[in-house]
Amino acid sequence: MKLPEIKPSLNGKHEAPPPVSGAFAVPSPRSAFPEDSPRLALATLLYNVSHYQLAGAPLLNWVRWTLLLVAILWATGWLPGRWWVTGLCACLLMALFALLHHLRRRDFVAFHPLPWPSPQPKPLNVAQKIPLHATGLFSVETKAQRYTWLPGFYRTFATREHALLCQVADRKFLAVNRWPETEVGLWYVFFVPDDVQAIRWGELRFGKTVRPAVAITYQLALKTGKKRIDQPRTETLYLAVQQVADGYTLLADLAYDLPANVLYNPDSSLSSPPA
């Protein structure tokens, strides 16, 4: 299915493509995106400082530079507590690197699988949209970026292609830091049933916020230029819904096209294949 061309504006914002039903684009009323303010915790704080910018540089860089500068300054011996302060700063830097590496590997979230609810397969109406918060690899045109807890909507076209339309909002953090302007706008995920390798049902935690969620493992090939398409890669997409009923509706839509062996988590003793 060929989607209408997405033309970026000069400020980095992108208009959403109209929903497609067969060969025809049909209008759809605008919907308000879900709120994207999870409760503040260590994971959410580190995610924010990794993205928000101050004077054109990520806040995380300012934290690193500050710790490094303090370590160098105290190492000169001009100030009291020479090795204590230098050692403390070095330990904080190493702990920061290690923690960020751990959190980035799982996109700053933690997924806990639960028993499969065995939904009755039922296709989603092409006009229906499920509000949620999505975590994973998103793209727009030839750009790709990992995001966590993006507010957006899940929908399925008449061709049975599944789509996520999510929004990076222009907002502030700690009153003075802003999200990079070039990333503000709409970001997308598209996949077809043949791409899906596994689906799990469970709960997704982002900091102190926990929601019912669907984890979708699928094959993805990103187009990074006019003539180049990357080799297919395995990605996991986490969809945290606002209520359990929405999650069951989403699962029923996915189950409509998929064989039973991908509709549960084979690595979890808590899950079992649907009857």
- pLDDT, one tens digit per residue, over 58-110 is 777 777 767 677 666 666 666 555 666 677 777 777 777 888 888 889 999 99
Q: Return the higher-pLDDT residue of 271 and 265.
A: 265
**3-state SS assignment for residue 204:** strand
Can you give the pLDDT at residue 46? 86
Q: Write out the DSSP string of 1-66.
A: -PPPP--B-TTS-BPPPPPEETTEE------PPPP--PPP-HHHHHHHHHH-EETTEEHHHHHHHH
Q: Tell me what pLDDT residue 134 has.
A: 97
Q: What is the distance between the alpha carbons of residues 218 and 216, in angstroms, rounded to a whole number?
A: 6
Q: pTM higher than 0.85, yes or no?
A: no
Q: In this structure, which amino acid lies at residue 93?
A: L
> What mean pLDDT do residues 182-210 have?
93
* pLDDT-based confidence at residue 21 (cuts at 50, 70, 90): very low
Q: What is the mean pLDDT of the chain?
A: 78
pLDDT band at 26 (very low <50, low <70, confident <90, very high): very low
pLDDT of 131:
96
Of 32-36, 55-59, 150-154, 258-262, the range with the highest mean pLDDT is: 150-154
Ranges of beta strands (E only) in the chain are 20-21, 24-25, 53-54, 57-58, 110-113, 130-140, 143-156, 162-168, 172-173, 177-178, 185-191, 196-206, 209-220, 233-241
Confidence of residue 48 (pLDDT cuts 50, 70, 90): confident
Identify which has the larger pLDDT, 19 or 188: 188
What ranges do the domains of the chain cover? 42-105, 109-262
pLDDT score recorded for residue 66: 72
Assign 229 a pLDDT band (cuts: 50, 70, 90). low
Query: Cα separations (Å) of 114 from 63, 117, 256?
Result: 38, 9, 20
Q: Residue 150's pLDDT band (boundaries 50, 70, 90)?
A: very high
Buried b (16+ CB within 10 A) or exposed e, 18-36: ebbeeeeeeeeeeeebbeb
Interval 107-129: pLDDT, tens = 999 999 999 898 899 999 999 99
The pLDDT of residue 42 is 85
The rounded percent of the chain whose pLDDT value lies above 70 is: 70
pLDDT in tens, 235-266: 999 999 999 999 999 999 999 998 877 776 54
| pLDDT at residue 138, rounded to an integer | 95
Amino acid 78: pLDDT: 63
Q: Is the pLDDT higher at 42 or at 209?
A: 209
pLDDT for position 164: 97
d(CA 55, CA 201) in angstroms, rounded, equals 41
